[in-house]
Amino acid sequence: MGRKKKEYFDSVVFTIPAIFLVCVIFYIPFLTGIYYSLTKWNGIAKEPVFIGIDNYKTLFGSASGFLTSMGFTMKYTVLFMLLSNVLALAIASALTKKFRGVSVIRSMFFIPYIMSMTIVGFIWKFIFSQGFAALYEKTSMGFLNWSWLGSSKLAFYSVVFVGVWQSLGFYIVLYIAGLQAVPLDVLEAATIDGAGSFKRFFMVTLPLLKPSIVTCIFLSLTNSLKVFDIILALTKGGPGDATYSATMDIYREAFQKNNYGLGSAKAIVFFVIVLIITQVVMKLMDREEGDTAKKRKGGAE
Amino acid sequence: MKKKLLATLLCVALVGTMLTGCGNGSSDSAGDAAGQEAPDQAESNASDASADVSSDASGDEEAEIYMFISGPEYADFINELIEEYKNVKPNVTINYETTQNDYPTMLKAKLNAGECPDIFASTAGKEIEVYKEYSYDLSGQPVQEALLPALQASFVDDSGNGCYAFHYVGDQYGIIYNQDCLDQAGVTSLPKTLDELVDCCEKLQAAGIQPFACGYAEWWVFKQSLIPFLTESVDNYASFVADMEQGNDSLNNHEMMKDNMFQFVDIVKANCESKPLESDLATAQAQLATGKAAMGLGMGPWAEASLLAINPDMNINYGGYPVSNDPTQCQIAAGASQALRVNKDSENLQAVLDFINWWFTSDFGKEWLANLGSVPAVDTNGVYSSEMVKISMEDMAVNGAGNIGTTYSTDAFWQSFGESFQSYVEGSASKEDTIAKIEQNWKEIDGAEQ
């Protein structure tokens, strides 16, 4: 009993520093954020004015811009998740084949991920404007002369493209690891049973890859909901306010328009939305994974 | 019991890590942005534009002045000033720090952390009131008496009293012309009316020169190039702004705002590069200085050094914005747009005041102010170090100066103003939509603050 007591004591003592840090860095600011969301404060005045839930009312009005930027974030998230996962899976399957220079190509795909988002943003800003202009003079291909960052529709796709381009390498690595873990004997058995390469991929490899897919979808979901720096470097939310994501809208509200109260309210609402989305996706994934596990077990019996 | 306590604690820790993972999006963007950027920038700025002037001489009134201001283009000049002050007061240490990018955010981070710089900056006009509770009233100080009246007027509070700031340069808005381009196209005089502007553009196009380097990717270009259309239409601009904030007036009531302003943007759009919304300041200055384009928008004398750095032989000319077909309304706008403030709770208030008064009244200070290469803040007896300032002073002596105006609205409003016009230039918003959006933002962003 004495030893057990000591163990309890140790566990408590060792978690205290972590709990303290998490509280100071996360919980306390979070709670003060909730308080500020109920006030009218410009970030400068010494005393914020308490105004109840007025900020939440303005937030859902048309003028606050929150709903449009939330819509942008949702569109971005769907497209980003789809593109990055499908492309990464396709490229990863190609890169698990054995051919000369495969490791060089793998690292080439991974390099953008090592670079900072802001730098990637500035590089592409340069490519989209001066780079494309110079190429257009040489080749006169029409699409090079489009205003990739200057028109709202194209700017959206430019942002998605650069986002996917930057993070593709990361998901490729995850998928390669998953693909390499697929047992060869199962694939051989499928070949003997007469499955072609197409069937083999979709009926055998893909179900066995589920854990990697779940991880990648979840990571791409959270990363795309948080999108900020790429947009800031590429378009600064422009042209007009066409490419303001929810996070950028919160930043603009709090730091540029000086409405810390409304900005905090937006941050809280965004937090709740993100929490719900991630929980729902996690639940769905869990169930899927549970199903396949059960099926696999049943098959074995 | 203990088990329960432990379980709860562990749960809290677990949920904590989970929430930090999921919740990144919300708290990162709001909280960390300021916290992280500030030290990074401070560091990078420290390396390129800061001076830590300390002196080892000892004395009885040792003081340290922390000066955190915007406007890094004057960093070299300010360092020179600080060097000199070391000789005057060896015991006073001035820590000078500057940044261009995101200055207001960094300042707010500092204010909320409880460390107000002894000398800090804001915009003049409306923001004087915002930072009033931190600012010392300089009324009656020698520095106030030295400032030109046009500048003093920019530093009063909402009720028109006091002098809550000072500044070492004035500001101007006008069009910068590349005179060589105009000569080449056979344009003999600067356009003073919208008709002349169209004519000038046609001549330039015929000579194969792109008329405008627009810089429309920057929101502040709209602020600084369209403000004359607002100030020239009304007699009392301050009360017009107050009416707009209350929703009691409309851009549609003023022909110059409703028609001429959009006509001007249309002229620019038709006569600049094919992708106006990708033209940022660097692009615009490069085009203007190298003679690829003839007219630069949204710039003032502050841009002269950058232009000459790109092309030392550039032949600069400078004039007001043509706002109508009445040439007398084409004026260069002048005043102060930035304001330096003294922290009224500073520990070394007297040392700070001594420094500023020396800055504006000593012989060295006066000469320094006259040689800034920008619009002087004090009377310099006709001595100008910059070509553009000379042109503008001569122009203003003949045509008078326009109201600088921009300081009556916050930058938050001007940014939304610029974004509305970016949508208009892109074609995704009609003229009516743009006017409605501007009016709405005027009410909601600036009007709500009162």
C-alpha span between B268 and B272 (Å, rounded): 6
Do residues B127 and B55 both lie within one domain? Answer: yes
Do residues B212 and B242 both lie within one domain? Answer: yes
**A131 reaches B (C-beta below 8 A):** no
Do residues B135 and B177 both lie within one domain? Answer: no
Contacts of A147 in chain B (CB under 8 A): 274-275, 277-278
Tens digits of residue pLDDT in A259-294: 888 899 999 999 999 999 989 988 888 776 666 555
Which uninterrupted H or E stretch holds B298? strand B293-299
Q: B116: which residues sit within 8 A by CB, 6+ positions away? A: B110, B134, B343, B345, B346
Token pair in block for residue B407 = 């300081």
Signed CA dihedral, B163, B164, B169, B174: sign only? negative
Domain assignment present for B287 = yes
**B9 reaches A (C-beta below 8 A):** yes
Do residues B190 and B329 both lie within one domain? Answer: yes
How many other C-beta atoms can be found within 10 angstroms of the C-beta atom of residue A21?
11
Contacts of B130 in chain A (CB under 8 A): 42, 44, 258
Do residues B175 and B157 both lie within one domain? Answer: no
Domain assignment present for B42 = no
Do residues B214 and B342 both lie within one domain? Answer: no
Rounded to 5°, the CA angle A121-B104-B350 comes to 145
Q: Which pLDDT does position B17 carry in this prediction? A: 54
Tens digits of residue pLDDT in B70-119: 888 788 888 988 999 888 888 888 899 888 777 888 888 888 888 889 99
**Percent of chain A's residues with pLDDT above 70:** 94
Q: Which pLDDT does position B6 carry in this prediction? A: 60
**B447 reaches A (C-beta below 8 A):** no
Tens digits of residue pLDDT in B362-418: 888 888 888 776 777 777 766 676 788 888 878 877 877 777 778 788 777 888 899
- Could you tell me the pLDDT band of residue B42, with boundaries at 50, 70 and 90? very low
Q: How far is A226 from chain B (nearest CA, A)?
A: 5
Residues forming a β-bridge with B63: B92
Is residue A164 over pLDDT 90? Answer: yes
Burial of A210 (0-12, 13-18, 19+ CB in 10 A): middle
Instruction: Please report, for residues A116, B24, B121, B226, the alpha-carbon distance to residue B219 in angstroms, rounded to integers and kept in the order given.
Output: 26, 29, 21, 11
CB-based contact B22:A278 (threshold 8 Å): yes
CB-based contact B428:B356 (threshold 8 Å): no
- Residue B345 domain boundaries: 48-169+337-361
- Could you tell me the pLDDT band of residue A295, with boundaries at 50, 70 and 90? low
Within the 214-233 window of chain B, which residues sit less than 8 Å (CB to CB) from chain A? 217, 219
C-alpha span between A268 and A30 (Å, rounded): 9
C-alpha span between B76 and B371 (Å, rounded): 12
Domain assignment present for B259 = yes
Average pLDDT over residues B52-62: 48
Q: How far is A118 from chain B (nearest CA, A)?
A: 13
CB contact under 8 A, A43 and B112: yes
Domain assignment present for B330 = yes
C-alpha span between A287 and A290 (Å, rounded): 5
Tens digits of residue pLDDT in B266-300: 999 999 888 888 888 888 999 999 999 999 998 88
Within the 354-413 window of chain B, which residues sit less than 8 Å (CB to CB) from chain A? 410-412
Do residues B74 and B153 both lie within one domain? Answer: yes
| Ordered DSSP codes for B326-347 | -GGG---EEE--EEEEEBTT-T
Taking CA–CA distances from A61, the nearest residue in chain B reads B444
Domain assignment present for B228 = yes
CB contact under 8 A, A255 and B33: yes
CB contact under 8 A, A30 and B28: no
Domain assignment present for B383 = no
Among the residue ranges A71-75, A199-203, B405-409, the one predicted with the least confidence is B405-409
Is residue B49 over pLDDT 80? Answer: no
Average pLDDT over residues B303-320: 89
Do residues B177 and B213 both lie within one domain? Answer: yes
Tens digits of residue pLDDT in B6-17: 666 565 555 555
Q: B434: which residues sit within 8 A by CB, 6+ positions away? A: B262, B420, B421, B423, B424
DSSP type of residue A49: E
In total, how many domains does chain B have?
2
CATH number at residue B80: 3.40.190.10
Taking CA–CA distances from A41, the nearest residue in chain B reads B449
CB contact under 8 A, A8 and B3: yes
Do residues B87 and B130 both lie within one domain? Answer: yes
Q: All domains of chain A, ordered by start, with CATH?
A: 65-300 (1.10.3720.10)
Residues forming a β-bridge with B213: B296
Is residue A214 over pLDDT 60? Answer: yes
CB pairs under 8 A between A and B: 153
- Could you tell me the pLDDT band of residue B48, with boundaries at 50, 70 and 90? very low
C-alpha span between A188 and A191 (Å, rounded): 5
- Of A70-84, A189-203, B220-234, B340-354, which has the strongest mean pLDDT? A70-84
Domain assignment present for B284 = yes
Is residue B28 over pLDDT 60? Answer: no
Q: Which pLDDT does position B364 carry in this prediction? A: 87
Among the residue ranges B135-139, B158-162, B264-268, B330-334, the one predicted with the least confidence is B158-162
| Residue predicted with more confidence, B424 or B123 | B424
Within the 20-39 window of chain B, which residues sit less than 8 Å (CB to CB) from chain A? 20-31, 33-34
CB-based contact B94:B83 (threshold 8 Å): no
For residue A220, how many C-alpha atoms fall within 13 Å in the half-sphere facing its CB? 32
Residue B16, by phi and psi: left (phi above 0), alpha (psi -120 to 50) or beta?
Answer: alpha
Do residues B331 and B221 both lie within one domain? Answer: yes
Q: Mutate which of A34, A255, A282 to disrupt the B interface (most B C-beta within 10 Å)? A: A255
Tens digits of residue pLDDT in A57-68: 888 876 677 888
**Percent of chain B's residues with pLDDT above 70:** 84
Domain assignment present for B392 = no
Q: How far is A203 from chain B (nearest CA, A)?
A: 33
- Give per-residue burial for B231-265: e unless 16+ CB within 10 Å, then b: bbbbeebeebbbbbbeeebebeebebbbebbbbbb
Contacts of A23 in chain B (CB under 8 A): 16
Q: B173: which residues sit within 8 A by CB, 6+ positions away? A: B224, B225, B227, B228, B298, B300, B321, B332, B333, B402, B404, B406
Contacts of A275 in chain B (CB under 8 A): 22-23
Do residues B118 and B228 both lie within one domain? Answer: no
Q: Which pLDDT does position A300 carry in this prediction? A: 45
- Give per-residue burial for A95-106: e unless 16+ CB within 10 Å, then b: bbeeeeeeeeeb
Do residues B259 and B184 both lie within one domain? Answer: yes
